[in-house]
Structures are given as structure tokens and as C-alpha cells.
């Protein structure tokens, strides 16, 4: 782990150093403090002045008796009540918009205590001003009731009006200060010149005393150089760190964060919840949970909030305003650091979005950050040396799987509801099984990896991790489609995948198997989960039978690893373009370094022979699907491993980690070789409370069938309400 990299995620705002943060917030703090002080002092001054006005003096001179005072109140109560209600208007407006006022103050100060102080000070100041105005109004009415000088009565009414206007100024002042500071920090939708003009107009409406006190603070904030102006440095654009988020939009947005991405978009569309509130709630959950789980390694909070502010009610995009995460490998993110889980890449910032990122953002998704991965996505765990291990929300001593472990942990913990992943040997399905989520590896060619070149035989497919089948189906609709230069391409069904998830699958021919293709031992609870699933499928009307899949485990694993090692070697070489020269092999993890060295010793004939064997094995394996629609197996042969379980023992070479991985995840690589769709569903839990995933592999191009079947199982045996103890909803 690079010193400071993970700590910076929590301790520094996006795109700044600590010193720059201090310079950026100082004007906002000064403005908020001076505005708060003015509010309190002016309110107190108003109150003191009210007790020394000509009106009260006239009442004292009148020497009214108690009975006369009571008679006066009876005669003039209507006027007093009307005046009091009118003067309450500024306070009523302040209270009605209290949540928004406090959020603006939080934006301005970046400090919860200071924002609360300013908020309470404003409220107290307005109450004091209201009290002063009411006292003077009472004095004026009583003076008139005593038939005192008419001129005196008029002047007393004038005093009441002035004090009422001052009370309104007391409320307006903190607004102007806060909005000015928020604009200076890049926290408003409107450009700074527009806010400047609005602030100047506001200043002109203030009373003379308010202008003198508040105007300097407002102008200092607006005219001081913004720490976020201009083009940020590369590291800043990478978003290697972020500011602690403003307070989330209350209980409603926290509740919304627990809903599916589809439901969240509907709430934003209806105006019931704003995208900013959702993103703030997501950032708050990440800030609270990430220190324990280490799901995110790079954040882009400021950009996410700015994008959220552009999403308005009525936005018809499928993911309008929904916070999402992107896995930190293969998926390039324009302007946001991409590391591939390796120290070799430094803080490289891609100049463009990958097609999957572009499509998700185009659908309205708001990228809040990038999630942890093992170096180059090699292992089925997520424990990169650079960033440290990601932990499973169900049991933090265990892995969330890999290589999409960061994305899975983020969704399972409730940091957000939808996260990108990719799968070259089980890297979506394995984390889904470990974390109790839905994870689909689409058919080869369904989703483009553009602009990254495809691996030789198309092992890798992109998808998402989610709690519900409907979210995964919608995401597949959004991600599917050809990109120029794709070597594999597959047309989408005419009615889409979301529609497939809504219809019944009909009677399917389903086989199930619990023996691992490499003869690895299978945990009894995982085998039992498959057998219970077979019974459930039969009860739903499907034709189910135990199946024997012809497989030659020895040559398959030998050739798969030869191809895998060669691909890793090619990936290491391609990192030179990112590293700006030759890759420093010593900066690679020992396993990656050994695999790269072995790849360089693999001859072209051996490499081509491995590809040929795997293609032949795929052709033979696909014969099973000439008379079956779906194959059901475990996803994992073992429960989620303890952190560090794959580490080599003393004296062992790093490459032993691959053999240990094969015993953990023997069921997932075949679908990557054949190119078939395969899906993990959280249909069981162990006695220890850990999720158990069941894998469903469909015929080539049978993504819609899998989604339809998965939705049927979800209705029959719902799982989304069962959440881990470590999470936003816990």
C-alpha cells in the first residue's frame, strides 16, 4: 500500500492539499462568523432599543391603570395580532426552509459546528428582531388608545416597520453570506458572476446597518480567488481524495439510498428526493463505512455533487441522478484516477470514458468514485498491496471476493445500489456470491469493452452488481451494443432485457451439478444450496435433473492458466504507456511479477495451442445446451476466504496463489471460456450467516432467459431485505 494513498481518501478534499483546503475555506469561515455575529448582536440591539423607545416612554407617562391596560388589549387585540403575525413571516419562511438553509450554510463553511452556530444565530436574531418589532407595535397602539399625539403614533408605527424590515434583514444576511461562500467554493449551480449580481442586489435591499456589517464579508468571499478555479492539477482531476460530504438530505434520502437504483431514479424523477440528496447520502455512507471496508480507493465527490445539481425532476433517463461506482480496472474514467490496483500506474488519469462508463453516465448515473481491485484483476479476492484489502460487510475478517470485490462490498454495505464490475474468470459472480448480491456475466460480445482491446478469446465481459434482478436487467439494456472495432458482437433482443425480467420464463430444461470441474472439494452447505434450489425450480414447474457435464479438468486448467498468465504478461507490457516508460518490475506484486516472467517464457506455439484447446473444450461443453436451457452449480466451492488465506506459506512461490484460487472458485472460469452468460443469485446462507451464491449458466445468447428465470426465483424466495450487519442500513 502506497503511504498516504488510502488515508488521503478520508482526510483531504478532492483536488486539494490540506494547505489549499485551509486557504479555500478561510473566507467562507470569516464570512459565516461575521454574519453570525451580526445576526446575534443586531437582534440583541433591536431588543434593547425596544425597551427604550418613545412608545414605552409615552405609556409610562400615561400612567395607565391595570383595568385601562386590559380594556386597551380588548379594543386593539385585532391590530396587535395582525401585526405580530405579519412580523412572524420572516421566521416562518426561515423555519419552512430550515433544511435548505442549513445545507447552504454547510456548503459555505464546510464545518458542521460552524454551520449549526450560524443557523441558530440567524434564528435567534430573527426572533429578537420580531420581538422588538412587536413590542414597539404594542407601544404604538397603546399610545393611540390613550389619544396621545398623532405624530408620535405615526413615528411609532414607522419604528415598527423599520424593525420589521430589520428582522427580515437579519434572516437575509446569513443567506447572502452562505450563498456567496458556496459559490466561491464551486458549490452552486449558478455561475459566480450571476451569484455576485444577486448578492449585490440583496445588499442593496438591506438596511444601512446590515449593509455596513455584511457587505464586506460577502464581497471578500465572492471576489477572493477560488481554490477550485481553472484546470485542477492531474492528481486533483484524478480525484485521489475528497472533501467530507455536506450533511445528507435527512432521513428521506437515507431511506432512498436503501432502495434499488430503479426506485431511486423514480424518486428523483418525481421530485420527492433530489439527486444531490441521494449523492450526499451516498458520500456520507462511504465516509462512515469505507474506513472499515476499504471498498473505494478514489473519490470524485465534488464532480458528483456538481453533476447531481444538474439533474432536475422530470428527467426521464433510466438512472437519473442515481449514485454509482466504477471498478478501478479496464473501465476508463475521464478525469478520474484509474490505477488497475497497481503501484506501477501511479495516479494516471484517463483522457476519456470507456464505453460502459459513457453509457452509464449517459443514462443519468452519477459516478461517485472507483472501487478497489486486486492488482490487474488477477485473483478472486481483493487484497492489492497498494491499497490494502477490501473486507466483506457480512464478516469483515473475510474477503468480498474478487476481482470486483470493492464494488460488491460497496453495494452490499449500502453505500450505493449499483456498481460496475467486469468478469474474466468469475470476477462479477464470485463477489456477488460472497456478498449476497445479483451478478451477471453477459454473453461474450453483448457488452463492449471499448476502447480497451479485447483479450484474445473474449474472456472478459462487463456488467454490474446489484441487489435485484430488475437492476441488473436494466443495466444490461444500457450497456449492450456494438462499438466500432469490436471483434465480438451480439444483437440485443427486440424488447430488451428489462422486459424479459418482467415475464415468466415458461418451463425450462434445467440440469444441476455439484461436483467441481477440477475435482476440488465442495463445501457441503454449498452443495446443499444447489440441491434445495433444484427442488425450488421443480416446484415452479421446470424440468430438473441431475446432470453430468463432460469435462477434462487437467488439460482445461493447464491451458486456461497458460492463457491467463500470457494475458497478464501482455497487460504488464501495456502498462508501459501509462507508466511513461518501462514498467518497474520491482513495483509489481510478487505474483504479477512471476506471471509476467512466465509469460515471456511462453512460446507462440504453446500460446496458440492453449487457445485451440480451450476453443475445442468450449465446443464440447456447449453440447450440453443442445437439450438443456440452464445448468445450475455452486459459484464457490468454499465460503468467502479469510483475509490473507491465499498468501503463500514460507518457502512457497507466489504462483501457488493461482492453485489455491482454483480450489476456491472452480465453477466460474468455464463460462468465460465458452462465452456463455452466467449468473450468481443469493439463494442461501450458511449457518455462520454468510451468503451462498448459486450459479445459473445459460445457452449462448441466453441472457434474457437467465434474467427471466432469476426474477421468478426472486419472487419465490426474496433476498433483498436481508442485509449485512456492517452497512448503511445497520
Residue 679 to residue 725: CA distance in whole angstroms: 25
Q: What is the pLDDT of residue 227?
A: 30
Residue 193 to residue 209: CA distance in whole angstroms: 25
What per-residue string of b and e applies to 323-344 under the rule 16 or more CB within 10 Å gives b?
A: bbbbbbbbbbbbbbbbbbbbbb
Kindly tell me if the per-residue pLDDT of 463 is higher than 90. yes
- Phi and psi for 442 in degrees, rounded to 5? -70, 165
Q: What is the pLDDT of residue 675?
A: 96
Mean pLDDT of 677-694: 97
Above pLDDT 90, what percent of the chain? 58
C-beta separation of 621 from 674 below 8 A? yes
- pLDDT band of residue 328 (cuts 50, 70, 90) is very high
Question: Residue ranges of the alpha helices (H) in 206-274?
Answer: 208-223, 234-238, 250-257, 261-270
Question: Residue ranges of the alpha helices (H) in 294-324?
Answer: 301-308
| Angle between helical axes of 18-50 and 208-223 (0-180°, round to 10) | 180
- pLDDT band of residue 534 (cuts 50, 70, 90) is very high
Alpha carbon separation from 203 to 44, 94, 130, 214 (Å, rounded): 22, 18, 21, 8
* Residues with catalytic roles: 327, 403, 427
Q: For residue range 563-609, list pLDDT tens digits in order.
A: 999 999 999 999 888 877 889 999 999 999 999 999 999 999 999 99
The residue ranking higher by pLDDT, 131 or 535, is: 535
What region does 134 belong to: left with phi over 0, alpha with psi -120 to 50, or beta?
Answer: alpha
Q: What is the largest CA-CA distance in the chain?
A: 114
Q: What is the pLDDT of residue 726?
A: 83
Q: What is the pLDDT of residue 656?
A: 96
C-beta separation of 373 from 423 below 8 A? no
- pLDDT band of residue 650 (cuts 50, 70, 90) is very high
Identify the weakest region by mean pLDDT among 149-158, 240-249, 528-537, 665-674. Answer: 240-249
Q: What is the pLDDT of residue 48?
A: 47
- pLDDT band of residue 230 (cuts 50, 70, 90) is very low
Torsion of CA 463, 469, 473, 475, to 10 degrees: -50
- pLDDT band of residue 730 (cuts 50, 70, 90) is low
> Any idea what DSSP says for residue 519?
-
Residue 493 to residue 62: CA distance in whole angstroms: 90
Q: What is the pLDDT of residue 81?
A: 54
Q: What is the pLDDT of residue 454?
A: 75
What per-residue string of b and e applies to 160-190 under the rule 16 or more CB within 10 Å gives b?
A: beebbbbbbbbbbbbbbbbbbbbbbbbbbee
Q: For residue range 606-636, list pLDDT tens digits in order.
A: 999 999 999 999 998 899 999 999 999 999 9
The residue ranking higher by pLDDT, 230 or 448, is: 448
Residue 533 to residue 713: CA distance in whole angstroms: 9
> How many helices (H) and strands (E) in the chain?
28, 11
List CB contacts of 8: < 8 A, sequence separation 6 or more.
240, 241
Kindly tell me if the per-residue pLDDT of 277 is higher than 90. yes
CB hemisphere CA count around 630 (13 angstroms) = 28
Residue 659 to residue 383: CA distance in whole angstroms: 17
**SS3 of residue 71 by DSSP:** helix
Above pLDDT 70, what percent of the chain? 64
Kindly tell me if the per-residue pLDDT of 137 is higher than 70. no
Identify the weakest region by mean pLDDT among 224-228, 382-386, 601-605. Answer: 224-228
- pLDDT band of residue 139 (cuts 50, 70, 90) is low
Kindly tell me if the per-residue pLDDT of 718 is higher than 50. yes
Q: What is the pLDDT of residue 514?
A: 95
Kindly tell me if the per-residue pLDDT of 34 is higher than 80. no
Q: What is the pLDDT of residue 191?
A: 52
List CB contacts of 536: < 8 A, sequence separation 6 or more.
683, 713, 716, 717
Kindly tell me if the per-residue pLDDT of 266 is higher than 60. yes
The winner for highest mean pLDDT among 20-24, 29-33, 116-120, 244-248 is 116-120
pTM over 0.75: no
Kindly tell me if the per-residue pLDDT of 339 is higher than 80. yes
Identify the weakest region by mean pLDDT among 373-377, 380-384, 539-543, 545-549. Answer: 545-549
The residue ranking higher by pLDDT, 715 or 114, is: 715
Q: Which helix (H) or strand (E) holds 683?
A: strand 678-685
Identify the weakest region by mean pLDDT among 6-15, 32-41, 162-171, 678-687. Answer: 6-15
> 385: closest CA among 369, 373, 371, 396?
373
User: Please, what is the average pLDDT of the chain?
Assistant: 78
Q: What is the pLDDT of residue 545?
A: 97
Mean pLDDT of 543-567: 86
Q: What is the pLDDT of residue 122?
A: 58
Kindly tell me if the per-residue pLDDT of 232 is higher than 50. no
Residue 70 to residue 111: CA distance in whole angstroms: 50
Residue 256 to residue 247: CA distance in whole angstroms: 15
Q: For residue range 192-203, list pLDDT tens digits in order.
A: 555 556 555 555
The residue ranking higher by pLDDT, 657 or 45, is: 657
The residue ranking higher by pLDDT, 88 or 614, is: 614
What domains are there in the chain, each with its CATH number?
Answer: 17-223 (no CATH), 237-716 (3.90.1300.10)
Q: What is the pLDDT of residue 433?
A: 98
Q: What is the pLDDT of residue 118?
A: 57
The residue ranking higher by pLDDT, 499 or 151, is: 499
- pLDDT band of residue 215 (cuts 50, 70, 90) is low
Alpha carbon separation from 432 to 227, 410, 565 (Å, rounded): 41, 11, 25
Identify the weakest region by mean pLDDT among 182-186, 262-266, 584-588, 716-720. Answer: 182-186
Q: For residue range 394-415, list pLDDT tens digits in order.
A: 999 999 999 999 999 999 999 9
Q: For residue range 289-321, list pLDDT tens digits in order.
A: 999 999 999 999 999 999 999 999 999 999 999
Residue 46 to residue 28: CA distance in whole angstroms: 27
Identify the weakest region by mean pLDDT among 490-494, 593-597, 703-707. Answer: 490-494
Amino acid at each position: 500500500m502506497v503511504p498516504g494513498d488510502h488515508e488521503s481518501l478520508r482526510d483531504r478534499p478532492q483536488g486539494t492539499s490540506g494547505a489549499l483546503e485551509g486557504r479555500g475555506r478561510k473566507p467562507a469561515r470569516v464570512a459565516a462568523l461575521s454574519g453570525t455575529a451580526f445576526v446575534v448582536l443586531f437582534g440583541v440591539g433591536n431588543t434593547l432599543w425596544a425597551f427604550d423607545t418613545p412608545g414605552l416612554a409615552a405609556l409610562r407617562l400615561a400612567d395607565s391603570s391595570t383595568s385601562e391596560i386590559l380594556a386597551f388589549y380588548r379594543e386593539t387585540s385585532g391590530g396587535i395580532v395582525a401585526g405580530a403575525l405579519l412580523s412572524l413571516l420572516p421566521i416562518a419562511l426561515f423555519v419552512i426552509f430550515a433544511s435548505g438553509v442549513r445545507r447552504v450554510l454547510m456548503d459555505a463553511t464546510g464545518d458542521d459546528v460552524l454551520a449549526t452556530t450560524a443557523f441558530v444565530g440567524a434564528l435567534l436574531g430573527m426572533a429578537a428582531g420580531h420581538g422588538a418589532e412587536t413590542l414597539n407595535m404594542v407601544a404604538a397602539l397603546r399610545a393611540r388608545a390613550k389619544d396621545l399625539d398623532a405624530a408620535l403614533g405615526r413615528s411609532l408605527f414607522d419604528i415598527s416597520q423599520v424593525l420589521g424590515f430589520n428582522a427580515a434583514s437579519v434572516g437575509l444576511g446569513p443567506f447572502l453570506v452562505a450563498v456567496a461562500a458556496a459559490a466561491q467554493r464551486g458549490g452552486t449551480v449558478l455561475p459566480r458572476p450571476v451569484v455576485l449580481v444577486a448578492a449585490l442586489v440583496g445588499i442593496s435591499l438591506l438596511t444601512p446597518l446590515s449593509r455596513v456589517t455584511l457587505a464586506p464579508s460577502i464581497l471578500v468571499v465572492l471576489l477572493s480567488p477560488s481554490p477550485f478555479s481553472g484546470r485542477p492539477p492531474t492528481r486533483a482531476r484524478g480525484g485521489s481524495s475528497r472533501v467530507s460530504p455536506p450533511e445528507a438530505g435527512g432521513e428521506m434520502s437515507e431511506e432512498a439510498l436503501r432502495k434499488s437504483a430503479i426506485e431511486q431514479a423514480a424518486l428523483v424523477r418525481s421530485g420527492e428526493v433530489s439527486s444531490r440528496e441521494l449523492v450526499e447520502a451516498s458520500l456520507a455512507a462511504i465516509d462512515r463505512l469505507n474506513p472499515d471496508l476499504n471498498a473505494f480507493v478514489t473519490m470524485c465527490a465534488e464532480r458528483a455533487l456538481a453533476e447531481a445539481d444538474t439533474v432536475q425532476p422530470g428527467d426521464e433517463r433510466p438512472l437519473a441522478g442515481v449514485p454509482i461506482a466504477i471498478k478501478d480496472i479496464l473501465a476508463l474514467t475521464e478525469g478520474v484516477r484509474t490505477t488497475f490496483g497497481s503501484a506501477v500506474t501511479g495516479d494516471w488519469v484517463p483522457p476519456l470514458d470507456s464505453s460502459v462508463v459513457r453509457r452509464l453516465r449517459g443514462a443519468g448515473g452519477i459516478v461517485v468514485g472507483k472501487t478497489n481491485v486486486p492488482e490487474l484483476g488477477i485473483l478472486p479476492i481483493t487484497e492489492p498491496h497498494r491499497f490494502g484489502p477490501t473486507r466483506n460487510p457480512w464478516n469483515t475478517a473475510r474477503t468480498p471476493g474478487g476481482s470486483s470485490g470493492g464494488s460488491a462490498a460497496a453495494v452490499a454495505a449500502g453505500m450505493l445500489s449499483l456498481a460496475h464490475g467486469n468478469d474474466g474468470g468469475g470476477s462479477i459472480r464470485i463477489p456477488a456470491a460472497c456478498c449476497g448480491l445479483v451478478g451477471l456475466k453477459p454473453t461474450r460480445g453483448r457488452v463492449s469493452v471499448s476502447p480497451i482491446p479485447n483479450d484474445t478469446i473474449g474472456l472478459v465481459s462487463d456488467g454490474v452488481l446489484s441487489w435485484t434482478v430488475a437492476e441488473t436487467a436494466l443495466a444490461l439494456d444500457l450497456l449492450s451494443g456494438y462499438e466500432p472495432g469490436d471483434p465480438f458482437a451480439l444483437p440485443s433482443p427486440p424488447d430488451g432485457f428489462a422486459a424479459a425480467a418482467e415475464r415468466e420464463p415458461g418451463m425450462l430444461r434445467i440440469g444441476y451439478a455439484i461436483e467441481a470441474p477440477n475435482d476440488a472439494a465442495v463445501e457441503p452447505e454449498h452443495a446443499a444450496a444447489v440441491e434445495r434450489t433444484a427442488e425450488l425450480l421443480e416446484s415452479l414447474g421446470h424440468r430438473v435433473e441431475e446432470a453430468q457435464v463432460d469435462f477434462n479438468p487437467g488439460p482445461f486448467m493447464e491451458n486456461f492458466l497458460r492463457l491467463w498468465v500470457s494475458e497478464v504478461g501482455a497487460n504488464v507490457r501495456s502498462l508501459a504507456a501509462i507508466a511513461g516508460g518501462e514498467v518497474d518490475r520491482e513495483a509489481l506484486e510478487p505474483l504479477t511479477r512471476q506471471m509476467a516472467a512466465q509469460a515471456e517464457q511462453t512460446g507462440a506455439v504453446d500460446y496458440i495451442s492453449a487457445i485451440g484447446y480451450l476453443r475445442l473444450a468450449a465446443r464440447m461443453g456447449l453440447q450440453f445446451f443442445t437439450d438443456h436451457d440452464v445448468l445450475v452449480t455452486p459459484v464457490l466451492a468454499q465460503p468467502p476466504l479469510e483475509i490473507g488465506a491465499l498468501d503463500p506459506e514460507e518457502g512457497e512461490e507466489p504462483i501457488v496463489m493461482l492453485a489455491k484460487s482454483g480450489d476456491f472458485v472452480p465453477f466460474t472460469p468455464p463460462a468465460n471460456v465458452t462465452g456463455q452468460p452466467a449468473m450468481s443469485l443469493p439463494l442461501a446462507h450458511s449457518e455462520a450467516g454468510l451468503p451462498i451464491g448459486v450459479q445459473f449458466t445459460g445457452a449462448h445468447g441466453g441472457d434474457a432467459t437467465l434474467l427471466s428465470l432469476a426474477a421468478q426465483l426472486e419472487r419465490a424466495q426474496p433476498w433483498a431485505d436481508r442485509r449485512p450487519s456492517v452497512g448503511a442500513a445497520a
